[in-house]
Amino acid sequence: MTTPRVTVVGLGPGPASHVTQATLDAISASHHRFVRTMRHPSVTLLGDCTSFDHLYESQPTFDDVYRAIVEELVAAARTHGEVLYAVPGSPLILESTVALLRADPRVEVVVVASMSFLDLAWNALNIGDILAVSAVFLYSAYATFLRRAPAMHHLSLLVALFGVGTAALSVPYAMHLLITGLTVPSPTAVASLLYVGIFPSLVSYALFNRAVALIGSGRVGIYMNLPSVFGVLMAVPLLGERFERYHLIGSLMVVGSIFLSRRVKN
């Protein structure tokens, strides 16, 4: 005997544009649709459906409401074989009825991925900006504490740092290989790796570590914004990017701050 099935979908955190294609496909494939509440802007996508709003009026507590919803869904699934149950937001975030359904042995529960308010918040934060700010903070901390490193040759310190970095990156890289499989890099990729490994990594870090050892992180930090200036100067002829006014203003501010700091020190 086939176990009755309840397919759970989320209507997203707002308008219909937040509803995933997988959810739309599940709605289209189902003939028996239920929704926890009609008070959601995307509920019109369900078409003909049955809501559980009446239980909020008849049950004394929310706990009783959720358990009553589960009982009605189980009964409907037993009658029709398979039903669809839609909830506001995501089925996996703060949704008690879904948790009760998944713990119920009488039905098989299939949860369709959907968007939540956390996804909107994460997209609004812009992961690229977060990573860039984090990188700046970590690099500043690296430069600050570099002078407190154990007494060793600066190249030995560089090898030790690269070893720690390689060990830390090996785990996510191994997971990536397990998922995507091993690929043969192109000549361009090999050349890029050699360039990044030799010049921006080995040579630049060796010179930077030596500079901190000689003049201190405070004075070296003055020049840490220069890579953005050189990046612009290289991107225009090599990548064909347009030189915009904000490039000029930003570069002048970086160079001006260096001259100003040197003048104040003198």
pLDDT digits (tens, 9 = 90+) for 157-189: 777 877 888 888 888 888 877 877 777 778 888
Give 186's DSSP letter: P
CA distances for 79 relative to 76, 90, 244, angstroms: 5, 26, 67
More confident: 234 or 14:
234
Region 26-46: what's the mean pLDDT? 88
CA distances for 115 relative to 21, 59, 103, 211, angstroms: 11, 29, 23, 49
Query: Helix 117-125 crosses helix 127-145 at what angle (to 10 degrees)?
Result: 60
pLDDT for 193 equals 84
- Summarised one tens digit per residue, pLDDT across range 127-158 is 777 777 888 788 777 777 766 666 666 667 77
CA distances for 165 relative to 54, 133, 157, 169, angstroms: 58, 19, 12, 6
- Summarised one tens digit per residue, pLDDT across range 178-225 is 877 777 778 888 888 888 888 887 888 778 778 877 777 677 777 777
Token digits of residue 50: 């049955």
User: What superfamily would CATH give domain 5-119?
Assistant: Tetrapyrrole methylase, N-terminal domain (3.40.1010.10)
Residue 90 exposed, middle or buried by CB count within 10 Å (0-12, 13-18, 19+): buried
Token digits of residue 145: 């504490």
Q: How far apart are CA 31 and CA 42, in angstroms?
A: 18
Enumerate the CATH 3.40.1010.10 domain ranges in the chain, comma separated: 5-119
Strand partners, 6: 83, 109
